[in-house]
Amino acid sequence: MEYKWTAMSNTFIATLMASINTYIILIALPAIFNGIHIDPLNSFQYLLWILMGYGLVTATLLLSFGRLSDMYGRVKMFRLGFLIFTVGSILLYLTPSTGDAGAIEIIVFRLVQGVGAAFFLANSAAIITDAFPSSERGKALGINIVAAIAGNFLGLVIGGVLAVFNWRYVFLISIPFGLIGTIWSFKLKELSKKALKTKIDIWGNFTFVLGITLILVGITYGLLPYGNSPMGWNNPWVIAAMIIGLFSLILFPFIENRVESPMFRLDLFRIRSFAFANIAGLLGSLGRGGLMFMLILLLQGIWLPLHGYSYASTPFWAGIYMLPLTAGIVIMGPLSGVLSDIYGPRWISTGGMIIVTTSFIMFAALPINFNFGEFAFAEFLMGIGSGMFSTPNTASIMNSVPSEDRGVASGMISTLRNTAGTASMAIFFTIVIVGITQRFPDAMLSSLTSIGAVNLAPVLSNIPPTAALFSAFLGYNPVNAILITFPPSIVTHIPNSILNTLTGITWFPSTLANAFLPSLQTSFIIGAIISAIAAILSALRGERYIHEDKVNKDSSKSKIDPQELEIVEKSS
């Protein structure tokens, strides 16, 4: 086997494993919460941390790990990532406690997985770039993106199947992947020059990790209720975290311009292709990062129950109905990579982001009880556009830097995308929760009045909108969970016809839909605007730039001289 395919198979396993692990959790949360005996109506904080904690720790560490890999060898760091990820998976499978303690243990062990994922995600693109010639990098990176997207779908399906038998199997599935990957990674070789005479950027690491952590933690707790408010944006701790985090990030570039060996290579942004492709990628992730969760909330919380699917089955079927999005990326990811190797990335990436913008507009125009054919077409377009953008954009960035900086460049790509993706989820969640909070009590009153149960309005109208929404997301009928808390004397006086209506599978999603749809449409319109800006920036990158390493170049040189960039222009 040629070495380049050894490198590809290693990064494919790593990317597939990380992707499966992300979305297997999304579908298996109902079984996990049942398994550790957590009440979904009072577990929003655990839900957020299990979903977002993994991305948070990965986003904060990618940049530091990318720089460490350039210093000490990216293959060593990649291999270490496999090992740490496997340990985290074993700990998750063995989670000893239940209740709040069990939820906290799962969160902590997920953070361990996140550390491992940060090590191999920071190096995957660099290892592929090292192993493949510039004429094949787009194709190779496209295959790697297919692994990420295929992992999304496989995670949804595998999680739905395994959770039926035992929630622990959801974590067990990652262990053989991790063991195989750890062993197979010993076949990798260090092909790039290490960054010599380089020191660890202590102050840069400190300010960046502190800033990103505080902002993402602040955003996470801003989504939680505080006092009498449905959200925590007025929580003094949230405000303090956001201010200190923002100050740290403002301070960060000033530090990086003054330290001897910066972890964030600001001088790389002097390369036009690198700068515009990275900013476009950041905005693309900001627009699309929360999309998957919004669509799954729509399917599980409203559309599937309205079409006769039981709440218990909605997590699995939501995964199936997301298949058109997956298919679009699987088809276009490698194809756009091949095309970008021939014609350059500029207009392929730009066209992809225009298609993404169009699909956001299509989602915003759909009614709540949409025809699935229209929804599937919008999904497929989103997948096609995402595949067209992501692969050439990544190849454009990695081709534009010298080999000894590919680790930090790969880390910078992943850091910007993961941070934007996590922030995107928080932004979309905020828009939806604020909208539901404002509209849900009136929607509940109107719906109860229509079935002659207005006397229940004082109680049911007080259901926390976030708890109601995420109970549906977890596969529970929130009305059943609320009625259990009622005194028996109240429940027995509810007429059977009304009780059957309330506990049926269509009444609650119909009520929630009126409060949910306007906010969802707003989030899609914002996604379209952000994606349109990303398309403009993508077009501004110019024609293709490839940095060809010079044989006699001083490997200890830490700054890039623009005169040493070899520009290869290909007409599109």
Whether 468 contacts 439, CB under 8 Å: no
What pLDDT is recorded for position 485? 65
What average pLDDT score do residues 354-367 get?
94
Tell whether the model's pLDDT for residue 551 goes beyond 70: no
- H or E element, residue 253: helix 236-256
Tell whether the model's pLDDT for residue 374 goes beyond 90: yes
Rounded to 5 degrees, φ, ψ at 226 are -140, 120
Sole residue written with tokens 């952590």: 213
What pLDDT band is residue 571 in, cutting at 50, 70 and 90? very low
Whether 220 contacts 48, CB under 8 Å: yes
Among 151, 167, 505, 154, which residue's Cα sits nearest to residue 320? 154
Q: How far out from the chain centre does Cα 500 lie?
A: 39
- The DSSP 8-state label assigned to residue 301 in this structure reads I
What average pLDDT score do residues 133-154 get?
75
Tell whether the model's pLDDT for residue 513 goes beyond 90: no
Q: What is the per-residue pLDDT across 184-213, written as a single tens digit (0 to 9) for each? A: 888 887 766 555 556 677 788 788 888 877
Whether 404 contacts 195, CB under 8 Å: yes
What is the residue-wise DSSP string for 316-368? HHHHHHTHHHHHHHHHHHHHHHHHHHHH-SHHHHHHHHHHHHHHHHHHHH--T
Q: What is the per-residue pLDDT across 79-136, written as a single tens digit (0 to 9) for each? A: 899 899 999 999 999 999 988 899 999 999 999 998 998 888 888 877 887 888 877 7
| C-alpha to C-alpha distance for 127 and 406, rounded to whole angstroms | 8
- Please enumerate in sequence order all residues whose Cβ is within 8 A of that of 32, keeping only pairs 6 or more positions apart, or say none: 25, 50, 106, 163, 167, 170
What pLDDT is recorded for position 557? 44
Predicted TM-score of the model (pTM): 0.78
What is the identity of the amino acid at 140? A
- The token pair at 383 is 């997948």
Residue, of 184 and 59, whose pLDDT is higher: 184
What average pLDDT score do residues 343-353 get?
90
| C-alpha to C-alpha distance for 270 and 277, rounded to whole angstroms | 12
| C-alpha to C-alpha distance for 189 and 246, rounded to whole angstroms | 39
* Cβ atoms within 10 Å of 539's Cβ, excluding its own: 17
Question: Which span out of 273-287, 332-346, 391-405, 551-565 was modeled with the highest average pLDDT?
Answer: 273-287
Q: What is the per-residue pLDDT across 263-314, written as a single tens digit (0 to 9) for each? A: 777 788 888 888 899 899 999 988 887 787 788 888 887 898 888 888 777 7
Residues of the chain above pLDDT 90, percent: 15
| C-alpha to C-alpha distance for 467 and 230, rounded to whole angstroms | 10
Which ranges of 400-506 would DSSP assign to H, the alpha helix? 406-450, 457-460, 465-473, 478-484, 488-491, 496-503
Among 25, 330, 41, which residue's Cα sits nearest to residue 160? 25
Rg (CA), the chain: 24
What pLDDT is recorded for position 567? 39
Which of 32-36, 219-223, 285-289, 480-484 is the least confident region?
480-484
Largest CA distance in the chain: 88
What pLDDT band is residue 372 in, cutting at 50, 70 and 90? very high
Sole residue written with tokens 């993402």: 216
- Mean pLDDT of all residues in the chain? 80
Whether 4 contacts 132, CB under 8 Å: yes
Q: Is 229 helix (H, G, I), strand (E, B) or coil?
A: strand
Which ranges of 94-232 would DSSP assign to H, the alpha helix? 99-131, 137-165, 169-172, 174-184, 202-222
| C-alpha to C-alpha distance for 189 and 185, rounded to whole angstroms | 9
What average pLDDT score do residues 248-273 get?
82
CA distances from 256 to 163, 205, 320 (A): 46, 10, 46
What pLDDT is recorded for position 346? 87
CA distances from 2 to 6, 7, 188, 227, 572 (A): 7, 9, 11, 61, 31
What average pLDDT score do residues 344-358 get?
92
Q: Is 226 helix (H, G, I), strand (E, B) or coil?
A: strand
- H or E element, residue 256: helix 236-256
Residues of the chain above pLDDT 70, percent: 86
What pLDDT is recorded for position 305? 86
Q: What is the per-residue pLDDT across 404-454, written as a single tens digit (0 to 9) for each? A: 677 677 777 777 887 787 778 778 878 888 888 888 878 888 888 888 877
